[in-house]
Structure 1
């Protein structure tokens, strides 16, 4: 008998007086010790299906059909029964860890709460269990991280904390919604291996939602392909990959960021240069906050990027990639030289830097967390125009419509709020917000990590087109080496704050010089 069985599941929402069907007659099952993968594009209904299993969609959703866990009906079950199952028998790893973790509580407090609620552990026993979990999911020096808040961790580290919380109570079923999205390739391999070991040792069922078909091929026993709220193809993983029957499945399997960026224009001007850039954070102890050491987040990084050129920055989570980019943009303090367009910007005052901000823009990793939920698409994109008092002689709405079309969004949707867009559409809004100011340097911090493969290809093509059109310089941060190869002219490899390798991207991929770079390429199955 299946531990989780879904039959003819339907999910609908009422909006603007109309009923919208998000899930249409979905059926599948998960056995103990089995991994079932739900794959499909953003908005296909994967996450809605997963949340429906324990009625986590709220009162706005109308559920039909049947969902049974270990023979117990979940749809229409009393809330007290559902609470016993949620987080205990069925655990979730959510896609966006920054919005799932409480920003006001330390990592230790959040993990302790989960363990105390379901296992009754407290004090030293709870602390020991927490350290065990954090070390299992690959967080180095776990004890020193217990007092950290979510914003003090990298995206990958936050995702690992979420995985630790989900595994804390040894669930019968683990529903993993893009669990490796924010992880670099080496940690991703470790997490997948960990999940496989736990599935085998605990006889746990795993429902795995992902856009990465490479992961599906490695981890899943069975695949369900979703499109527009329906499962269009299902079967054993080996059969689906060897002989896909549905045109949509074939489209997903062929989607991959390929090609290379356009050549840098001859004589392109150097836009940004750093000289032995260093970012050290002091470690303070005691009542008088005495400095007893430093966290060496970035250690003497020297880079240069020309107009129309992309520098790829790769490395494990916590290696200093984002810290380096934030220092270049003068958003955090640093030592060493930062030269933008021939000027030493480290000496600039706050008011002088304000004028520079429109030339330096950033697109963040999390397209939901970086957009205000209280602002419409139009307000989000146009906000920078007001902040920098840019007067183009045209109406704001016309400018917003133009940039929305440029990034592949329908201007007729500018009145909508972020939650009304798919993940890929939200990332396009974030790109439009940066591009409306016509910047010269754009930091792209994992801009495709949360997107399915088909949308990744579209975003990579969009970014390359915009670079050629406007001569943009990119700092492209990513753990996805396929995307880095497709986007970058040059690249640097970072580890523990140090730049361990640098050069032309093609040379680094073809002939890596350090063991660490070779390890990254091997984990990504690249050569």
Structure 2
């Protein structure tokens, strides 16, 4: 069963007339993870923001975005706001941009929850604490009383994952959630996304240019290039039986980087032996 169906999505910059996304159509099955891959500027992020209806006003979108059969493109902004967070939750690539810099993160979390639930202050605090502890964030009360700039990128990403756990949305859209992080933080955040899927059995769209992460987390893959979907298939098919030359290039580049990394590690290991 499809929880989300995108039909003939077109996105155009009305200031310049440039087409950014061309006639994209794809489905997201209930409980599955769909990865959207491609280089910067391929249309991945703008596609995800179109689903959330968060693109700038000069980016005009047309087509159908069917969430549980309801066309999101036809909803008034007030109705769409009710969907964001509770039904559709987006985790951005830069945790700093997701939080209001003028207030501590706990205020942001509680304001978000109060829009969707009739919980008391104590209930909200308890649920947030439990969720933060489950994503390995120690001293949650202390963290909630800090400003975003006082926390690392990895911590901010895990706070957003904790918020998603509390909201229990139907679909989580993760837009390059590991790009701004160091290698250790990337690993930790990816592990939390995998656990998030296991806990909630939610549907997920995972946007990334890192094919190693995609291979680990996704069930199916869309490959985008210059605003067009050029190939799609299961993770196994894309990695072992890619048909399009661009997809083959992405996979071979990832493999070359992986092999080079292993050689460097091997040489260092031998030098230390």
| TM norm structure 1 | 0.48
- Return 5+ residue gaps in structure 1 as ranges: 260-452, 454-480, 487-504, 514-527
Counterparts of 1:210 and 1:98, CA distance in 2: 19
- Return 5+ residue gaps in structure 2 as ranges: none
Cα pair 2:161 2:193 within 8 Å, conserved? no
Aligned residue in 1 for 2:98: 100
Q: CA deviation at 1:106?
A: 0.6
Cα pair 1:138 1:187 within 8 Å, conserved? no
Aligned residue in 2 for 1:210: 208
Cα pair 1:33 1:200 within 8 Å, conserved? no
Cα pair 1:257 1:482 within 8 Å, conserved? no
Cα pair 2:93 2:177 within 8 Å, conserved? yes
Counterparts of 2:87 and 2:250, CA distance in 1: 32
Aligned residue in 2 for 1:4: 4
Q: CA deviation at 1:58?
A: 3.5
Q: CA deviation at 1:254?
A: 1.9
User: How many residues are matched?
Assistant: 271
Greater RCO (Cα-Cα under 8 Å, separation 6 or more): 2
Cα pair 1:12 1:62 within 8 Å, conserved? yes
Counterparts of 1:62 and 1:175, CA distance in 2: 21
Counterparts of 1:224 and 1:66, CA distance in 2: 18
Aligned residue in 2 for 1:23: 21
Residues 74-130 of structure 1: per-residue CA shift (max 9 Å, x gap): 113211221111111000001111122111111111111111221222322211111
Residues 369-392 of structure 1: per-residue CA shift (max 9 Å, x gap): xxxxxxxxxxxxxxxxxxxxxxxx
Counterparts of 2:116 and 2:271, CA distance in 1: 50
Quickly say closer, same or farther: Cα 1:89–1:21, change in 2 above 3 A.
Answer: same
Counterparts of 1:118 and 1:511, CA distance in 2: 57
Cα pair 2:32 2:203 within 8 Å, conserved? yes
Cα pair 1:174 1:204 within 8 Å, conserved? yes
Residues 21-69 of structure 1: per-residue CA shift (max 9 Å, x gap): 1100111111111000000000000011011113111321211111100
Counterparts of 1:177 and 1:166, CA distance in 2: 14
The reply on whether 1:51 has 2:62 as its aligned counterpart is: no
Q: CA deviation at 1:6?
A: 0.4
Aligned residue in 2 for 1:241: 239
RMSD between aligned residues: 2.6
Counterparts of 1:114 and 1:10, CA distance in 2: 30
| TM norm structure 2 | 0.90
Q: CA deviation at 1:247?
A: 0.7
Aligned residue in 2 for 1:474: none
Residues 311-350 of structure 1: per-residue CA shift (max 9 Å, x gap): xxxxxxxxxxxxxxxxxxxxxxxxxxxxxxxxxxxxxxxx
Cα pair 1:91 1:174 within 8 Å, conserved? yes
Matches within 5 A, 1:406-445: none
Aligned residue in 1 for 2:217: 219
Residues 409-445 of structure 1: per-residue CA shift (max 9 Å, x gap): xxxxxxxxxxxxxxxxxxxxxxxxxxxxxxxxxxxxx
Larger radius of gyration between Structure 1 and Structure 2: 1
Higher helix share: 2
Aligned residue in 2 for 1:147: 145
Quickly say closer, same or farther: Cα 1:116–1:506, change in 2 above 3 A.
Answer: farther
Counterparts of 1:192 and 1:99, CA distance in 2: 20
Residues 207-248 of structure 1: per-residue CA shift (max 9 Å, x gap): 000111011111111000000000000001101101111110
